[in-house]
Amino acid sequence: MEKITRMTLEGISAEIGISRTTIYKVLKGKGNVSERTRTIVTEALERYHYVENKNARNLALNRQYTIGYSGFRSRSANYFSPKVREGIGRAVREFGDDGLSVIISEFDVEKPWQQMEGVEKMLEQGVRSFVLAFSDRQIIKKILGRLRSMDCRVVLLSRDFEDNDDSFCNFYVGVDYYRSGFLAAELLGKMLPEKGQIFIPVTGEYHNNQDIQARLKGFLDKIKEYSGCQVLPVVHDLSEGEAVYREVCSRVEKEPALKGIFDLTYRLDMAAKALRDCGRKELKLVGFDLFGEIEQDIADSVIDAVIYQELSRQAYMGIKLLFEEMCYGLLPEKRKFYSKLEIVTGGNLCYFQGNHKMGIQA
C-alpha cells in the first residue's frame, strides 16, 4: 500500500537539496537567487504540482481526512491503474490543504481475494471511507458487507454492484454500460448502410461481469433497428490477445459477407492488427476506451470509432464525493454519477490524446 499526500515545500527541499528559504524566495520572486537555482526550483515546483497553501485551516486544527482506494491492475487493461492514479492525484492536489490524503492498495485482477486483504489492512489503519474498483462479484459482496458492518462510506468506481439490498454502497461513479452498447450499435449501424454481417468477439469475463453483459444487450437491442445488419453468433471467452487476433483472422477468412466488428474483448489493438495483417482495413471496427496502443490504428481508421469516458475524472469524482461529505458535510442528492460518453475517431483524436497519456497516472 502507498499513501498519497500533497508535496510540501519541506518535501521538495529534501528532494532537490535546496533550502526551503531559497524555494520560498523563488515562489515570491524576492531575494538574490541565481538563475540556475531559480530554474531548478521552478522545474521542481512544476514536477511535483506544488500549489501554495492558501487555506491551512484544517491542517492548523490537525484535521486529517483519509480515504482508501482499492482497485485492480490488469495486463489486458493496463491503462486502468495509471488513469485512476491520475484522478486521485488531482484530488489530493486540490484538497490536500484541507487535510485530504489517500491510501492506495492495488491487487492483481486475476487474484481478487487480494482486495479483501488490502481493505482489511486499511480498516486496521482507521480508514472508514473507501473508493473501490472491483473485479469479482463474490469478493466485493463480502467486502461491502464487511464495510457496512463497520458503518463505512463507499464509492464504487467504474463498475456498479446491483443486489437485492441497495444499501450495499453509497455511490457509483462510472459508465451507463447499457447506454454505451446502445451507442456502439448506432455508430456501427450507420456505418453500414448496406446489408452485411457483424461479428462480436467477447472477453472471458463476460459470464461474471454484469457490465459487459449490459453492453452486449444494449448493442443487440439497438442493432435490430438496422434491418440490413445480421449479427453472427457471439464468440465468448477470448481472454488473451493472441486468441482475439486468431479469432478475428478466422472470421475475416470464413465470412465473405462480414462488414463490421463490435469488440467486447477490450483488446482493440489485437483486433486492429488482425485487420491490418489480413488486408481488410475497410471492415468497420468499433469498441471502447482510448489507450496508447491503439492511437495509430484510430488515426489510420483501422479502428473506426471508440466510445471513451474519462476514467481519471471518474476517480477524481469518487474521491471528491467522499471528501466533501467528510470535510464539509455535503451530501449529494443522487447515488449514481454517469460519465459523459465521447465518440473518438481519427478526425477528432487530437483533442483526446492528452487525456490518456501514461506518464503520470486518476
Q: What is the CATH number of the domain that holds 19?
A: 1.10.260.40
Q: What is the CATH number of the domain that holds 321?
A: 3.40.50.2300
Would residue 145 count as lying in a domain? yes
- For Cα atoms 165, 168, 169, give the angle at the middle one, nearest 5 degrees: 140
Q: Do 219 and 114 share a domain, yes or no?
A: no
Q: Do 233 and 330 share a domain, yes or no?
A: no
Q: Do 67 and 168 share a domain, yes or no?
A: yes
Number of independent structural domains in the chain: 3
Q: What would the grid cell of residue 162 be?
A: 446491483
Q: What would the grid cell of residue 2 be?
A: 502507498
- What is the rounded CA–CA span in Å between residue 79 and residue 267? 12
CA atoms within 13 A on the CB side of 21: 2
Q: Do 214 and 275 share a domain, yes or no?
A: yes
Mode of pairing for the β-strands spanning 65-73 and 100-108: parallel
**pLDDT by residue for the chain (362 residues), tens digit each?**
777 777 777 788 888 999 878 887 888 777 788 999 999 999 888 777 776 665 555 554 557 899 999 999 987 677 889 999 999 999 998 888 788 999 999 999 889 999 999 999 999 999 999 999 998 989 999 999 999 999 999 999 999 987 655 556 689 999 999 999 999 999 999 999 788 999 999 998 888 888 899 999 999 999 999 988 999 999 999 878 999 999 999 999 999 999 999 999 989 999 999 999 999 999 999 999 998 899 999 999 999 999 998 999 999 999 999 999 998 888 888 899 999 999 999 999 999 876 544 333 32
For 292, other C-beta atoms within 10 Å of its C-beta total 14
Would residue 120 count as lying in a domain? yes
* CA trace torsion 81, 84, 88, 91 (10° rounding): 160
Would residue 143 count as lying in a domain? yes
Would residue 52 count as lying in a domain? no
Which one-letter DSSP state was computed for residue 330?
-
| Sign, Cα dihedral of 345, 298, 85, 104 | positive
In degrees rounded to 5, what are phi and psi of residue 175?
Answer: -110, 145
Q: Do 165 and 183 share a domain, yes or no?
A: no
Distance separating the N- and C-terminal Cα atoms of the chain = 16
Q: Do 298 and 317 share a domain, yes or no?
A: no
Q: How many helices (H) and strands (E) does the chain have?
A: 13, 13
Q: Do 184 and 293 share a domain, yes or no?
A: yes
Q: Do 168 and 211 share a domain, yes or no?
A: no
Q: Do 260 and 150 share a domain, yes or no?
A: no
For 128, other C-beta atoms within 10 Å of its C-beta total 17
Return the residue matching grid coordinates 473507501. 130
Helix (H) or strand (E) holding 287: strand 284-288
Q: Do 199 and 249 share a domain, yes or no?
A: yes
Return the residue matching grid coordinates 451507463. 176
Q: Do 188 and 302 share a domain, yes or no?
A: yes
User: Helix 241-254 vs helix 268-277: angle between axes, to the nearest 10 degrees?
Assistant: 40
Q: Encode 206-234: b = buried (16+ Cβ within 10 Å), e = exposed.
A: beebebbbbbbebbbebbeebeebebeee
| Sign, Cα dihedral of 239, 84, 154, 334 | negative
Contact 156, 171 (CB under 8 A): yes
Would residue 360 count as lying in a domain? no
Would residue 276 count as lying in a domain? yes
Q: Do 194 and 297 share a domain, yes or no?
A: yes
Would residue 243 count as lying in a domain? yes
Would residue 288 count as lying in a domain? yes
Range(s) of the domain holding residue 122: 57-175+310-355
Contact 104, 91 (CB under 8 A): no
